[in-house]
Amino acid sequence: MPINASSLRKNIYRLLDRVLRTGKPLEIERNGKRLKVVRSVEHGKRLERLVPHDCIKGDPEDLVHMDWSDEWNGGRGL
């Protein structure tokens, strides 16, 4: 059952703590429309979420010595 904005204003910290504790969404009715406050999925640190990829096959030094003249247009026509 949704609450109105005045009830939210009076009890915002208690209501937000309830959402965090239970994981149950909170519905708020405002101007005939409903809003929902939900607990987001907790993520670890950004570096912990990285997925390894094989980007370069071979020796990276070969990239330095490649002829890129056919690929480079001097900054024109991107």
Report pLDDT digits (tens) over 67-78.
878 877 766 655
Tally of residues, the chain? 78
State the residue range of the domain holding 6.
1-40
- Count how many domains the chain has: 1
Taking the C-alpha atoms of residue 18 and residue 39, their distance in angstroms, rounded to an integer, is 10
- Indicate whether 16 belongs to any domain: yes
Taking the C-alpha atoms of residue 33 and residue 4, their distance in angstroms, rounded to an integer, is 10
Give yes or no for a contact between 25 and 38, defined as CB atoms under 8 angstroms apart. yes
Domain CATH number, residue 29: 3.40.1620
According to the model, what pLDDT value does residue 74 have?
Answer: 67
For every one of its 78 residues, what pLDDT tens digit does the chain have, with 9 covering 90 and above?
899 999 999 999 999 999 999 989 999 999 999 999 998 876 667 777 788 877 777 887 888 888 878 877 766 655
- Indicate whether 8 belongs to any domain: yes
According to the model, what pLDDT value does residue 49 have?
Answer: 76
